[in-house]
Amino acid sequence: MCTVALAGELSVDDFEFKDDDQAARYNALIQEFRCPKCLNTNLAGSDAPIAKDLRRAVYRLISEGKTDQEIRDFMLARYGDFVLYKPRLTPATLLLWFSPLILLLVLALVILQIANRRSAVSLSDEDRARVEDLTTE
């Protein structure tokens, strides 16, 4: 099944690249894509058969001279947004990106209100006298 590897650890594939630049691009790209069958592993860190196939596809596309963006488009067209580790900013993912921030703001507002409430409690003179009476016995 799927093996979770340590961050930065690469699966062993025997790919030969034309130059170091291609090899570097390959290593970067296979960390960008999520292994479709594993919940939270990138292509670099997965032993799943589909991950191997996709790594091979990335290698082939690099060798064919495709740009990084073209390779991302290739993956997106076939596997959808789920294949990208970093979700794109689209209307559909707006809530995904901003709901933590919105939630934080709401919480901050609430906390502020509680704090204000505590410090803003003011007693009328009459009530203040009553409190003094009750507490000094």
Binding site for other proteins (CB under 8 A): 36-37, 49-50, 53-54, 57, 76-80, 82, 95, 99, 103, 106-107, 109-110, 113-114, 116-117, 120
Tokens of 16: 């030969």
Question: Between 21 and 98, whose beta carbon lies closer to other proteins?
Answer: 98
Rg (CA), the chain: 28
Contact of 56 with 63, CB cutoff 8 Å: no
Least spacing, CB of residue 119 vs other proteins, in Å:
12
Question: Between 118 and 135, whose beta carbon lies closer to other proteins?
Answer: 118
- Which uninterrupted H or E stretch holds 39? none
Closest CA relative to residue 50, chosen from 61, 37, 39, 62? 37
Least spacing, CB of residue 116 vs other proteins, in Å:
7
Least spacing, CB of residue 16 vs other proteins, in Å:
18
